A and B are shown apart, each in its own frame.
Chain A
Amino acid sequence: MKIKRFEKLAAPVLSIIIALLIGTAIIKICGYHPLSAYSALLKGAFGSFRYTMATLEKSVPLILCGIAAMVAMKSGIFNIGAEGQLFMGAIGYTVAALYLDFLPGPLHLMVCILVSILFGSAWAFVPAIMKIRIGANEVVTSIMLNYIAQLFTSYLVSGPMRADGAVSQSDPIPAATTIGEIVAGSKITWGFPLAIVLCIVFAVLFKRTQLGYEITAAGMNARAAEAGGIQPDRVRIIAMMISGALAGLAGGLLVASTFGRLVETVSTSFGFDGISIAVLGLYTSVGVFLSSLLFGALHTGSLYMEMFMKIPSELIDVLQGVIIVVIASPAIFQILFKRGGKR
């Protein structure tokens, strides 16, 4: 069994290595120096205390979206709608922050968080119930709902909620509803410890609780789960709503700590990255955490690389893409780990 665990770990590690090799080739082909590119990437991600903290902060929405994708996938439903749920969460948070400002400070903050969770969750409920009741493909409906959420955000910040000025954005949210840095100037906010707590909560959920067991069972073999007294459809709806709640919270946190207001570009595809992160993290909380740090580092590092080495950050997107392509190709690993001709 130990060997098995090692073999499992080999997949993500190897895919990262393969991606780095392919990335090297691409950087070279594009006429840059791979080594200096990578060193700039590293420097940008972990080169100083502030850079490191920025990387950690960047990973917060990734962790949340990663867990969101993980919960849904474990239950056997594919939540490609996290992006839209994140936008809805951001809208919910901003609306609660701007219009419920009569609430006392700490309560106001709690309500905002709650509203963002509810908005995300409700947005995830729609494709889930449509799938279960009328068999609508959740991938198609979720993608449509992503557009609606995104465009609705654009509408709000350029219409009803638009602040005075040249940029399409809402008014800044009240100070009581922002989530600040843990230590002034550290660039890392309370969102990060919250993300760690959530990682632990979901690790426990899947390792020790009935709900975690039922989600896993429904995802692995719905018919056996059914015979075991689990209602797979119900479990999947719950999982989907948890997933949406996490994505919504990610959106809320982005408003509360990163932007301080609703903007059109709340998310730069965090919802989609979450899926990759869940896969790379082998559907475990720890794995999601580590993968999120990696993706966060690639994000911050690539900005530095672009700024100081004039290497386009898009190359790093390519790198990310390659990691996912490699890990999603079981065939590659079957060739790499050619085991005796079983069966």
Chain B
Amino acid sequence: MDALLDIKNVTMRFGSLVANDHVSLSCGYGSVISLLGENGAGKTTLMKVIYGLNKPESGEIYFEGKKVSVKSPKAAIALGIQMVHQHFMLVNHLTVAENIVMGNEPVKFGIFQRKAAVDRVRELSEMYGLQIDPMQMVGKLSVGAKQRTEILKALYHGAKLLILDEPTAVLTPQETQELFKVIRRLKEDGKSVIIITHKLHETMEIADWVYVMRHGKMIGCVAKKDTSPEELTRMMVDHALEKFEKAACHPGEVAVSLSGLSYTNRDHAPVLRDVNLEIHEGEIYGLAGIEGNGQQELVEVLSGIESRWTGTYRLLGQNAAGKSVRDLIDLGLGCIHSDRQDRGLLLDLPAAKNVLLGYQHQRSVKTPVGLIDYRRVSQMARSIIEQYHVSPADETYIARSFSGGNQQKLIVGREFYRNPKVVIIAHPTRGVDIGVSEIIHQSILKLREAGSAILLITADFDELFKLSDRIGVIYEGHIVTEGKSEEYTPNRLGLYMGGGTDEDQAV
């Protein structure tokens, strides 16, 4: 039998960068394929070729045995290829059913048949065990439910092949399991699924075949049953990972102390509720939680950007109330915000000037007459570039011209350069490949050994368990559990992240 999808020798170029270099991939009927690779390996590029968003330079695509040329997403959908993007394409102010039927609504005499739509959606939803209420407003759904809505939408529009772009990045472990259940149902039904991911254990759990990409090339294709996570890692990364060593934790004085900290945002929503938290010197406190449970706001409060909070916040023995961002920086606070392009970088300025951001007022970067000493700033940038292996290794290039991982290294280098006594780190390795993650993790640990107090906010469990000495979970702006990291398993954390307690597990 022919494969459902056959990609042969696709080459895709962006300027001088070869994003896909003679890549081939084959996907049978009713099979689940995991497309694995570091960031920038070319996975998404390849999927966009299939979905008609990228036009390849050369190569052929066969779908259901016929040679096709997918010129647009519309053409892809007509063939039965659907893609669920990382960022959902849903209208919040419409119901699930309305969102799903959009583009192919049941119509009678030119009138939208709402009931028919709802029935059809309910039927589909039950068929695949998606557990979703068609009448619900999309804006009120959880992230996992939104994703299921997207999948349902794809099915409604006749998907034979479903492409999921990093579907589990936003899900709790429980939701991930739900998703996998759905995927298995789809498979039973003869539909094929391609999952883009860089999480090994998920690949090992759900995939039939694993394709691994590296630097735009297809490194290989293995059957899941014949491979191991170790082999996959070797295929993904072209350099051996250093064995990870973490010294014992020797917590010192309390460096950050929050008690009864609450914050109500502009929309009068209580985003942080009575947060109590202590972080010691030489300790990494990992804060887990599903995105949107107050992490962002906590970072803004701790960094001094947001000042309208109540409660107590003491930093290195000083009351932080009324202190500006600059005051806190001068006290010895470093901060890596979750979105590097949003709060971290001046994209159109050279790397050197980005390395200056946050410290432009300090004496150490100025000449005796008070001008900024850009020679010294450049030296600083060069030492960061060297230490973190930033490429291109040129501090005169504008920040925009660096890849995401290298931008992140610049930010980490900047914030760590002065050995801050307290560091707040949000999602330090999001969208960053394994090699870079490793560098960043090492430098976080080095800082810990030097006695810094570190708050690590992350959605990546591997990272959380690897680095944290203590772990807390934030749910709806409140820290619902806290303890030594050994006390937690991913499952237990996931439970708390979803608003449950240990008792729920017992039941």
Contacts and interface: CB of A to CB of B under 8 A. Distances in A.
B326 interface: yes
A343 to B, nearest CB: 7
B368 interface: no
A227 B358 CA distance: 7
Contacts of A221: 342, 345-347
Contacts of B396: 1
A340 B55 CA distance: 13
B421 interface: no
B345 A224 contact: yes
B206 interface: no
Interface in A190-243: 204, 208-210, 213-214, 216-217, 220-221, 223-231
Given A208-B371, A227-B335, A340 B345 contact: no
Contacts of B215: none
B342 A220 contact: no
Consensus secondary structure, chain B interface: loop
A214 B357 CA distance: 9
B268 interface: no
Contact of B325 (A1, A228, A342): A228
Query: Which residue, of A208, A213, A220, A340, has the highest number of chain B Cβ atoms within 10 A?
Result: A213
Q: Give the contact-size bracket for chain B.
A: 20 to 34
A200 to B, nearest CB: 14
A28 B225 CA distance: 79
B357 A228 contact: yes
B305 interface: yes
Contact of A224 (B344, B356, B361): B344
A70 to B, nearest CB: 16
B343 A341 contact: no
A6 to B, nearest CB: 16
B360 interface: yes
Contacts of A341: 14
Q: Give the contact-size bracket for chain A.
A: 20 to 34
A133 interface: no
B15 A228 contact: no
Interface in B329-377: 329, 335, 337, 342-349, 353, 356-358, 360-361, 366, 370-372, 374
Interface in A127-150: none
Given A210-B360, A343-B14, A226 B326 contact: no
Nearest to B394: A1
B88 interface: no
Interface in B272-316: 303, 305
B417 interface: no
Contact of A227 (B13, B337, B372): B337
B323 to A, nearest CB: 11
Contacts of B366: 210
A114 B150 CA distance: 64
Contacts of B346: 216-217, 220-221, 224-225
B365 to A, nearest CB: 9
B360 A213 contact: yes
Contacts of A216: 346, 349
B373 to A, nearest CB: 9
B112 interface: no
Contacts of B356: 213
Contacts of A217: 346, 349, 357, 360
Contacts of B325: 226-229
Contacts of A213: 353, 356, 360, 372
Contact of B343 (A210, A227, A339): A227
Contacts of A228: 325, 357-358, 360
Query: Which residue, of A210, A224, A340, has the highest number of chain B Cβ atoms within 10 A?
Result: A224
A343 B337 CA distance: 26
B442 to A, nearest CB: 24
Contacts of A224: 342-346, 357
A209 B14 CA distance: 38
Contacts of A225: 346, 357
Interface in B378-410: 396-397
A231 to B, nearest CB: 7
B15 A342 contact: yes
Query: Which residue, of B14, B343, B344, B346, has the highest number of chain A Cβ atoms within 10 A?
Result: B346
A340 B14 contact: yes
Contacts of B228: none
A142 B14 CA distance: 44
A93 B28 CA distance: 82
Contacts of B348: 220
A343 B324 CA distance: 39
B360 A214 contact: yes
Given A208-B372, A213-B360, A340-B13, A220 B324 contact: no
Contacts of A343: 14
A109 B344 CA distance: 47
Contacts of B342: 221, 223-224
A220 B344 CA distance: 12
B73 to A, nearest CB: 16
Interface in B1-27: 13-16
Contacts of A1: 396-397
B15 A340 contact: yes
Nearest to A214: B360
Contacts of B13: 340
B349 A220 contact: yes
A224 B305 CA distance: 11
Nearest to B343: A227
A340 B15 CA distance: 5
A227 B360 contact: no
8 contacts: A210-B361, A213-B353, A220-B349, A224-B343, A224-B344, A227-B358, A228-B358, A229-B361
Given A220-B349, A340-B13, 18 more contacts: A209-B370, A209-B372, A210-B360, A210-B361, A210-B372, A213-B356, A217-B346, A220-B346, A220-B347, A223-B343, A224-B346, A226-B343, A227-B335, A227-B357, A227-B358, A228-B358, A229-B329, A340-B15
Top 6 nearest A-B pairs by Cβ distance?
Answer: A229-B326, A228-B357, A228-B358, A340-B15, A227-B343, A208-B371
